[in-house]
Amino acid sequence: MPRAIGAIGVMGAVAVVAAIGVALPFIVSAQAATLGWRDLRTNYPPRPSGYSEIVATFGQPCSAAASYVHRKWTAADNGVTYDLYFHRKLGGMGTNMLSDQGGRSTNLDNDVYGQIIVNRLSQYLKSGIYGYACRTIAGSTSWSTHAWGIAVDVSSAYEPSGNCGSNVNYMTADIWKNHNWHWGRTFCDSMHFQYAINY
């Protein structure tokens, strides 16, 4: 008899955890709406085309500005929280939803992320979320857009490099594109979004 009760207790606990997992995106979305989230589109930098325009817009790679702003993004599949660092021109302005970090726009942290939350798509932010990294493109001597803090890899555990399709990120790709981000699916890197084209 105690074993049966214990089994029911475990099953009940699993059911509660599952219910919370299903409900959490809706709760977060409702909180965002209650707090008055808006897609502000404030001070977006022009989206650069090619190396010269990237440097003209965002400066040299691996600069202090490239990792000036950060935001915590939690993966829906495993609950791991990632510190996402990015360029100060792509976020960090204070809003009614976010503390001011001395950034210059509302693009990534308020507008893109907020739209994903409000549209109840946070379950598609899965493990492997990365932003700024002072590095070159794999197998190359050219700087990666991550070195400028203008690239984000999302759900990289599900979107392997070299795969020209998409398992997860197709659900949020339109939000990124509507905020001037280019989806790396065009060059078979579906985990990757960058605020630049032709590079």
pTM for the model stands at 0.83
- Phi–psi pair at 183, nearest 5 degrees: -85, 130
**What is the band of 135 on the pLDDT scale with cuts at 50, 70, 90?**
very high
Lowest mean pLDDT among 1-10, 78-87, 92-101, 121-130: 1-10
Look up residue 44 and give its two tokens.
């977006």
Strands annotated E in the chain: 69-74, 81-86, 151-153, 182-183, 192-194
List Cβ<8 Å contacts ≥24 apart for 4-11: none
Write the pLDDT tens digit of every residue in 104-125. Answer: 999 999 999 999 999 999 999 9
